[in-house]
Amino acid sequence: MFSAPLIILFVPFFSKPTSLPHIGLRPSTPPPTSTLQFSTPYHALFGRSPTYDHLRVFGCRCYPNISSTSPHKLAPRSVLCVFLGYSSNHKGYRCLDIATNRVIISRHVVFDESSFPFAEATSPSALPTNLDFLDDHFSQVSTAPAAPPGQRRPPSKLPPALELAGTPGGPAASPLSPHGLASPLTSPGGPAISSSPGGLASPLASPGASVASSSAGGLASPLASAGGPAASSSPGGLASSSSPGGSRGGPTITAGPSLPGGAGRLGGLPLAPGNSPGGSWHWTVPSDVHRGRSACLPRVPSAPTPLPAGAIPVPNVINTHGMRTRAKDGFRQPRLNLQAVAVSPVPTSYRGGLDDPHWRRAMEDEFQALVANNTWTLVPRPPQANVVTGKWIFKHKLHSDGSLDRYKACWVLRGFTQRPGVDYDETFSPVVKPATIRTVLSLAISYDWHVHQLDVNNAFLHGTLTETVYCSQPTGFIDSSCPDHVCRLNKSLYGLKQAPRAWYSCFAAHLRSLGFVEAKTDTSLFVYRHGDELAFLLLYVDDVILTASTSSLLHRLIISLQAAFPMKDLGPLQHFLGIGVTRSPTGMVLSQRQYLLDILDRAGMSGCKPCTTLVDTQAKLSASGTPVADVTAYRSLVGALQYLTFTRPDITYAVQQVCLHMHDPREPHMSAVKRILRYLRGTADLGLSIGCSTTSSLTVYTDADSAGCPDTWKSTSGYAVFLGDNLISWSSKRQPTVSRSSAEAEYRAVANGVAEASWLRQLLQELHQPLRSTTLVYCDNVSAVYLSTNPVQHQRTKHIEIDPHFVRERVAAGAVRVLHVPTTSQFADLFTKGLPTAIFQEFHSSMNVRSPDAPAAGGC
């Protein structure tokens, strides 16, 4: 039932699966019955007869509208296709593009139900499955040869540019390509003449006749003839080659009975009739045409050649515009067949992971790692024991550009079911501070040290537990010999309350055995020194950054760490903690571009209109307004923006303002979040630049926005700390108490900046980089400068708490010196208030926030 229409219409095999639903279409409505007074159920239900206007003849020629997918407005709005049926998921027609074997679904289609491309072209067995490699050699507009004697050709309903034309009893002219390519069609008993102002003739031949080609462009195509040598003349002085015995160097496709009209089209390819019995048809492919590669033939201008007698003039459809293009010059680019890499979605359950082989393999690898690490021992379930259950968690591990690295599956325990004091005790585990990371990277860049990144495989599985903890066997990997047993943990597992602490204790103990010293200012910083050799190691859970003064020391330390833990050396630092690192001869740029784009996508603002500033220079956010509809979405976005401040100091103040209302967000607060996202949309490529600095002094800028909060009248403090030319620390924070004057607010801001500078001086001391110079602190309030040096204006400042006065102690010790700076040069204004566009962009550049293409800060 299904094969007959396919055979009749010569539909190729690769299109049959998509054709069966259309061929098997049958009326789903029962015939009229006496129960319904001889009317159909459809008419009885809706009161009208069904319409069949959308039904079309299967296999006919059609032209779907593809303007919505066109690369530009001058591209073709339709292509020649074959009608395959109706889409089962959309309201549209399925159309097969013969040139690309691509199925197009469209509602707007023009049909020619009197023409069937496959029936007019060739047999199914001879039909090529991919004709992309001939697009640059044959025209999409063809002219058919004359019909055989005694046969009338039916009139065509196609547009003139696409219909098959011919003259009875005479030779056929070649089709003319918009690119200047001529495709001659030959007929039995006479020569085929090709004329093209573009200067190129298509290498098609006909057995039994001598074929001559004359081209206005000065180039004749090499035509092969079975009956004699082929000759050609060209005004350009170039003669075509010929070979007796037929065409060589290209395949020939032969069809069966003769076709109506004398010639046909096969996916936009002209067919030449031969002298074989029954009127067979030959299609000759030139030898210089290969799959996926186009032959580039230059244009050779010459004088036009008059057409021979009896030839049919071809309408001039060549683009005569004066613009010079690559197509006119004969340059062709190979068509790239891009294949999208399918990424399996992240399942939310174990059953969902079983459906995909990638996730099954990830679970198997994780289970094998647990067994090899001796993570547990199977024991009978003790009475009254608290058995912690678990579940499989799946995640995509990505590269810095967002591409897929690997599939990761983890067996995670439900730690919230643990009993405090029984299953766990201490849970604190330190992580490295952002300012420490930026300080170490600044020193490494300034000293031209190599910085490597290490990744520990299954880090939490190496921590040793001091408590007795039982858990269930992993789902899908239950031991068949003892299915009722439980796992008594020997090592920590993901999800346990004490797992991070156990891993940190294990790793820190091994580092101490290698000679590392744990820094007191940041316990996730480990310093190694042996003679003149120096190395720094930063630990953030299972991500390790290692830098050393010599390459040999760096190599030795990596080997020592890999001997104790399954660890991968990822090479020079490129991507860590979701932060991309772009290296340059003068420094590096830390960027969170991919993380930023993920935030925009989560908020549904990937295509929003960018803005130039973050906050309004006049209005302040208050606690009033209409509550937001989705509090969780607000908190999620603000929390994500907080982590983005790691490399974007320019958004710190705006994020701090929206963080103040996390407990009760209102609509104005959500609008402020959206404005931040709009600003980030236009500055997604920016990051924090760390360059080579010639100085090692600390410089601090402090500022305060006196009584800036409209609800509590509290002030906002801000500071920025530079190590040489590199920004390494910054802050924007609301003060805990109300200040009675701007001098008091500025004095508190100075105290915050001095406290940060004191901590950084101690950090540099532990890094064996002591500062010899005094730290300069710049403030734009003269009264605050005086207060930091002497206890002046006692009557106005006696209510100030004792803690800010430690600034005087640091000034007296010579570690800090507070100086005045004009407001126009106060960079810390960026962290306390909204600024006009010009000032904001100026300070924005002073904070070394730039794109990776821009030069790094400083220079050596």
Total number of residues shown for the chain: 860
Torsion of CA 82, 86, 89, 90, to 10 degrees: 80
Average pLDDT over residues 105-134: 69
Distance CA 39, CA 32 (A): 5
Q: 580-606: per-residue pLDDT in tens? A: 999 888 889 999 999 999 999 999 999
DSSP result, 233-291? --TTS-PPP--BTS--SS-EEE-SSPPTTS--EETTEE-EE-SSTTT-EEEE--TT-BT
Residue labelled with tokens 């989705």: 630
pLDDT at 175 over 50: no
Question: What is the predicted pLDDT for the residue at 638?
Answer: 94
Residue 263: the pLDDT is 40
pLDDT at 330: 60
* Residue 346 DSSP symbol: P
Farthest CA pair distance, the chain: 121
Pairing of strands 404-413, 390-398: antiparallel
DSSP assignment of 301-315, as one string?
A: -----PPPTTPPPPP
pLDDT of residue 404: 85
How far from 49 is each of 32, 37, 53, 594, CA to CA, in Å?
A: 12, 14, 12, 56
Secondary structure letter of residue 130 according to DSSP: -
96 close to 81: Cβ distance less than 8 angstroms: yes
Lowest pLDDT segment from 71-75, 310-314, 533-537, 725-729? 310-314
Asked if residue 111 has pLDDT above 70, the reply is: yes
Distance CA 48, CA 50 (A): 7
Higher pLDDT, 665 or 249: 665
Q: For residue 412, what are the β-bridge partners?
A: 391
pLDDT at 721: 95
Task: Report the range of poorest mean pLDDT among 61-75, 505-519, 528-542.
Answer: 61-75
Is 108 in a helix, a strand, or coil? coil
The residue ranking higher by pLDDT, 175 or 755, is 755
Q: Over the stretch 349-363, which tens digit does the pLDDT of each residue have?
A: 888 888 888 999 999
Mean pLDDT of 550-578: 91
**Lowest-confidence pick of 198-212, 425-439, 626-640, 699-713:** 198-212
Which tens digit of pLDDT belongs to each residue from 708-729?
888 889 999 999 999 999 999 9
Mean pLDDT of 69-84: 88
Enumerate domains of the chain plus CATH numbers.
Answer: 3-112 (no CATH), 131-233+256-337 (no CATH), 350-573 (no CATH), 578-691+833-860 (no CATH), 693-821 (3.30.420.10)
Write out the H or E segment, with its range, that includes residue 517. Answer: strand 516-518
pLDDT for 706: 86
What is the residue whose two structure tokens read 């607060």? 669
Instruction: Tell me which residue of 840, 830, 828, 817 sits closest to 746, measured CA to CA.
Output: 828
The closest of 265, 278, 231 to 120, measured between CA atoms, is 265
